[in-house]
Amino acid sequence: MTGMPHPYPSTPAPPPYAAATRLVALGREPRTPGAQVGAPLVLTSTFHANGADVYAREDNPTWRAFEDTLGALEGGEALVVSSGMAAVTAALSLVPPGGVVVAAPVAYMGTTSLLREQADAGRLTLRLVDPTDLDAVATALSGADQVWLESPTNPLLEVVDLASVCRLAASLGVVTVVDNTFATPLRQRPLDLGADVVLHSATKYLSGHSDVVLGALCTRTDAPGQALRERLAHHRHLLGAIAGPVETWLALRGIRTLAVRLDRAEANATELARRLAGHPQVTRVRYPGFSAMLAIETRGSGADAERVAEATRLWVHATSLGGVESQIERRRRYATEPEEVPETLLRLSVGIEDVEDLWRDLAAALDTLGQ
Ligand SMILES: *Cc1c(COP(=O)(O)O)cnc(C)c1O
């Protein structure tokens, strides 16, 4: 069959494509007759000399397939790393020794803990500020090197005016880092809003099946963006927190269905938020109106809320989020979660199950509070 003309071009068709199409079509091999349709899983530590790839701590074709797909989604270029925290560490490496970092007091626990530890060790100065208070942010940014943002925030689900903070930061020469794990690039593209570095725990929505730990960093394609990307790639290469090809391949397989997973999970979350607002044992519902993370506060004590999480039979009582299965967790069960997080706050990662089944299970667990 070799040498036969084939009916379609060997290079991926050019953009523009809608995000849902990019998720499916990018990160694939050229359309050579007889070649595999998916991306190759390349398991090698090294490559024959004189080629484009030299050693697998520096680059890998499986990484590139994932990076091409995620980069196109975020409107920039992506680098895959071993975990969300490896992405956090890489972004933090951009701060000069003794530099000033502005961050929210309540954010992803790992990020906050790392920033505090590094501040305590004298590696940086940390300025904590409410990211929804633009005046306070403006004051804190003066003389800073880097600002860290999440939106929606974890686990309070507050929405930050990313465009305004990015504009302010850019005018002061402050590097903006946005953790886009909760929103995903389908709901928010921080690079378009002026962010310098976007990071992901690809462990969550991008992979989507709670079977992979992986992270990624995205930068813009302009000259400053490329300079940042080079520094981040250098960090990955020399500090060595690289992604496994198997994990990367699994994440690429997972990301193909992100659009349908997120649409379904978001529809479920919207309906559950509405019903939870009317439940007699729920005192507050936090749902930003997009993506599929929500949080509720319940009547009674923290121990009572803990029992709700334990009483569910379908919802999975576990940490983490963004999987196809719905997950529930009381965040203050961790001593490191700050006091701004209410004792009874239950974080819900809504999955793609049938919404009536999810509601029955959750409502029954909440009803135990009244008994
Ligand atoms: C989970 C998470 C991280 C850390 O990612 P890992 O893959 O667990 O290292 C960072 N940010 C947010 C918002 C997360 O949810």
- In tens, the pLDDT along 181-211 reads 999 999 999 999 999 999 999 999 999 999 9
Cis peptide bond prior to 155, omega within 30° of 0: yes
Is 68 designated active site? no
Same fold for the pair 19-255 and 258-370: no
Catalytic residue at 17?
A: no
Q: Contact at 8 Å (CB) between 151 and 183?
A: yes
Q: 364 C-alpha vs ligand 1 centroid, how far in Å?
A: 30
Nearest ligand 1 atom to the CA of 320 is 1
203 lines ligand 1 (CB under 6 A): yes
* Superfamily in which the 258-370 domain is placed by CATH: Aspartate Aminotransferase, domain 1 (3.90.1150.10)
Q: Which residues, given as ranges, of the chain have pLDDT below 50?
A: 1-6
Q: What residue ranges do the domains of the chain occupy?
A: 19-255, 258-370
Pocket test for ligand 1, best of 204, 207, 293, 320 (most atoms within 8 A of CB): 204
Mean pLDDT, the chain, rounded, equals 95
Q: Which of 319, 313, 311, 279 is nearest to 296 (CA)?
A: 279
What are the φ/ψ torsions at residue 23 (nearest 5 degrees)? -55, -35
What local confidence, expressed as pLDDT, does residue 11 receive?
55
Query: Exactly one of 17, 53, 57, 231 is catalytic; which is it?
Result: 57
**pTM confidence score:** 0.95
Whether residue 356 contacts residue 346, with contact meaning beta carbons closer than 8 Å, is answered with no
Tell me which of 3.40.50.720, 3.40.1280.10, 3.90.1330.10, 3.40.640.10 is the CATH number of domain 19-255: 3.40.640.10
Instruction: Please give the pLDDT value at position 31.
Output: 87
82 in ligand 1 pocket by Cβ < 6 Å?
no
pLDDT for 5 equals 46
- Which tens digit of pLDDT belongs to each residue from 216-249? 999 999 999 999 999 999 999 999 999 999 999 9
CB 94 within 8 A of CB 225: no
Task: Give the Cα separation of 354 and 272 in Å (integer).
Answer: 11
- Number of the ligand 1 atom closest to the C-alpha atom of 107: 13
Q: What pLDDT, on the 0 to 100 scale, is given for residue 12?
A: 56
Instruction: Pick the atom of ligand 1 nearest to 215's CA.
Output: 7
User: Out of 145, 179, 196, 361, which one is annotated catalytic?
Assistant: 179
Distance CA 339, CA 15 (A): 47
The single-letter code of the amino acid at 201 is S
- Asked whether 206 lines ligand 1 (CB < 6 A), one says no
Atom of ligand 1 at shortest distance to CA of 85?
A: 9
